[in-house]
């Protein structure tokens, strides 16, 4: 799960990492004066709280010297659609603004701890070229990036933090606080089951103090059960349909295509999406009804699929393993009738009692297109949406 800047900075602050004094988050301009007071003296910085970086260049971070300037900044940022290279072309709506006391920046450093999947351990990544996107730096000047693997048992050793500190060009007076900061961030990383804690920039103020000016944090969803606070928090990336599906126990992720896919098993669902793409189509979703694809579950899945107005055809690809194909066929027939589905429906069944299942579908008299293989099904699904009147292209989720 991705955390917002203010959430990540609150966690860092609680662990003792220096962050700017804050007035907290506001959702309306009238909450601003209270936030300015809480942040203490100006100047202030107002920052859009969205799950994407590159906010500075996109107009989502504004410095304000006076309360009047802060008000103008809050009004400009609240409700704006922020478009950065990380949001996709449609951008994201800004609902919250963080009000911090502005920091007097001497220099900006890039600092993060990330789970290095290849090495199977966390690693410190740092660069004296802070503020810029690390991906771009990695591409253009990889030699400017410092790396230090962290032993999962021993944690960060002082000498490792010192080595990075000196390589970053910190002064001897700054090394002590830097080593402390590195160890605290590492502790936050481990305690929260994070796979990323990024401080970009880590600032050295004109007075020589270290301050985490920005923070990005992402935690492992599989460890949510250990973090009730995180589990309670709303998943900001989920759409309304994603949430509805979760409630009824269906594994569903909305995508930007127009072929609704109803599949049992996550692996088969992935293969179905790949095959649809290979056939020249675009899946509208990832949907795994789970192992027990009962008539009820298939009906629920249909209902969710059909609520997505972008869906122009439905492709059912179900493998009868434990479940018999006859049961699945009955489920598809019941669901089609119950939902009054009018869209082209392509069904591919395989597995136990497949012939009997297909016969049931044929006998139902419902207008569905049967397919013999996944490739056949994908091609038929793509053909059925291509024969529809052309529509303007759209993208519900540009960056997925």
Tokens 């796979």 map to which residue? 195
Nearer to ligand GDP, 9 or 380 (CB): 9
Instruction: Please report how close the Cβ of residue 213 comes to ligand GDP at its closest, in angstroms.
Output: 5
Nearer to ligand GDP, 48 or 347 (CB): 48
Instruction: Please report how close the Cβ of residue 4 comes to Mn ion at its closest, in angstroms.
Output: 13
Rule CB under 5 A: say whether 127 interacts with Mn ion.
no
Among Mn ion, ligand GDP, none, residue 310 binds (CB under 5-8 Å by kind): none
Nearer to ligand GDP, 104 or 391 (CB): 104
Please confirm, yes or no, whether 209 is among the known catalytic residues.
Answer: no
- How, if at all, do strands 313-320 and 259-263 pair? parallel
Which one of the spans 101-109, 146-154, 262-270, 309-317 is the region binding ligand GDP (CB under 6 A)? 101-109
Sole binder of ligand GDP in the list 49, 87, 103, 384 (CB under 6 A): 103
Nearer to Mn ion, 200 or 379 (CB): 200
Please confirm, yes or no, whether 110 is among the known catalytic residues.
Answer: yes
**Contact between residue 213 and residue 201 where contact means Cβ atoms under 8 Å apart:** yes
Rule CB under 6 A: say whether 201 interacts with ligand GDP.
yes
Please state, in angstroms and rounded to a whole number, the distance separating the CA atoms of residues 367 and 316: 14
Sole binder of Mn ion in the list 200, 219, 275, 299 (CB under 5 A): 200
Rule CB under 5 A: say whether 288 interacts with Mn ion.
no
Nearer to Mn ion, 48 or 371 (CB): 48
Please state, in angstroms and rounded to a whole number, the distance separating the CA atoms of residues 103 and 204: 10
Please state, in angstroms and rounded to a whole number, the distance separating the CA atoms of residues 219 and 230: 9
Rule CB under 6 A: say whether 213 interacts with ligand GDP.
yes
Tokens in use for 366? 């419902």
Among Mn ion, ligand GDP, none, residue 45 binds (CB under 5-8 Å by kind): ligand GDP
**Radius of gyration for the alpha carbons in the chain, expressed in angstroms and rounded:** 26
Sole binder of ligand GDP in the list 105, 137, 175, 383 (CB under 6 A): 105
Nearer to Mn ion, 214 or 256 (CB): 214
Rule CB under 6 A: say whether 256 interacts with ligand GDP.
no
Instruction: Please report how close the Cβ of residue 175 comes to ligand GDP at its closest, in angstroms.
Output: 23
**Long-range pairs of 53-62 with CB within 8 A, sequence gap ≥ 24:** 53/84, 53/86, 53/133, 53/200, 53/216, 54/84, 54/85, 54/86, 54/87, 54/133, 55/82, 55/84, 57/84, 58/82, 58/83, 58/84, 58/87, 60/84, 60/94
| Residue of 198, 254, 330, 350 with catalytic role | 198
Please state, in angstroms and rounded to a whole number, the distance separating the CA atoms of residues 126 and 147: 7
Show contacts with Mn ion in window 214-243 (CB under 5 A): 214
Instruction: Please report how close the Cβ of residue 88 comes to ligand GDP at its closest, in angstroms.
Output: 15
Partners of 99 in the β-ladder: 24, 46
Encoded one letter per residue, x for contact with ligand GDP by CB under 6 A and - for no contact, window 116-135 reads: ---------------x----
Show contacts with ligand GDP in window 40-59 (CB under 6 A): 45, 47, 53-56
**Contact between residue 347 and residue 371 where contact means Cβ atoms under 8 Å apart:** yes
Q: Which residues of 110-137 are buried (b: 16+ CB within 10 A; e: fewer)?
A: bbbbbbbeeeeebebbbbebbbbbbeeb
Count of residues that interact with ligand GDP, criterion CB under 6 A:
17
| Residue of 7, 108, 110, 148 with catalytic role | 110
In the complex, the residues that contact ligand GDP under the rule CB under 6 A are 45, 47, 53-56, 61, 63, 102-103, 105, 108, 131, 200-201, 213-214
Residues at the contact surface with Mn ion, assessed by CB under 5 A = 200, 214
Active-site amino acid positions: 110, 198
């Amino acid at each position: 799960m991705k955390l917002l800047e203010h959430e990540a900075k609150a966690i860092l602050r609680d662990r003792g990492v220096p962050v700017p004094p804050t007035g907290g988050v506001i959702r309306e301009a009238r909450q601003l004066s209270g936030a300015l007071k809480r942040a203490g003296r100006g100047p202030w910085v107002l920052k859009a709280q969205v799950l994407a970086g590159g906010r500075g260049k996109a107009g989502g971070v504004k410095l304000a010297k006076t309360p009047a300037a802060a008000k103008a900044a809050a009004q400009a940022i609240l409700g704006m659609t922020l478009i950065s290279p990380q949001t996709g072309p449609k951008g994201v709506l800004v609902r919250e603004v963080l009000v911090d006391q502005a920091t007097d920046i001497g220099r900006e450093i890039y600092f993060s701890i990330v789970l290095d999947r290849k090495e199977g351990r966390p690693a410190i990544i740092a660069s004296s070229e802070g503020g810029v996107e690390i991906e771009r730096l990695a591409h253009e000047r990889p030699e400017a990036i410092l790396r230090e693997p962290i032993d999962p048992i021993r944690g960060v050793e002082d000498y490792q933090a010192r080595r990075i500190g000196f390589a970053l060009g910190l002064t001897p007076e700054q090394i002590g606080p830097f080593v402390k900061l590195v160890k605290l961030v590492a502790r936050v990383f481990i305690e929260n089951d994070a796979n990323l804690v990024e401080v970009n920039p880590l600032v050295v103020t004109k007075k020589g103090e270290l301050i985490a000016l920005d923070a990005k944090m992402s935690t492992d969803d599989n460890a949510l059960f250990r973090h009730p606070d995180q589990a309670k928090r709303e998943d900001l990336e989920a759409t309304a349909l994603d949430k509805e599906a979760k409630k009824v126990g269906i594994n569903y992720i909305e995508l930007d295509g127009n072929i609704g896919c109803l599949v049992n098993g996550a692996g088969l669902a992935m293969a179905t999406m790949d095959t649809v793409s290979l056939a020249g189509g675009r899946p509208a979703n990832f949907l795994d009804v789970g192992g027990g694809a009962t008539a009820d579950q298939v009906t629920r899945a249909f209902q969710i699929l059909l609520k997505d107005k972008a869906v122009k055809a439905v492709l059912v690809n179900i493998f009868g393993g434990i479940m018999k194909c006859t049961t699945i066929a009955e489920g598809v027939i019941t669901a089609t009738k119950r939902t009054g589905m009018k869209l082209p429906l392509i069904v591919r069944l395989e597995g136990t009692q497949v012939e009997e299942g297909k016969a049931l579908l044929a006998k139902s008299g419902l207008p569905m297109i049967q397919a013999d293989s996944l490739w056949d099904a994908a091609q038929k699904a793509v053909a059925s949406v291509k024969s529809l009147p052309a529509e303007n292209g759209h993208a519900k989720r540009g960056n997925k």
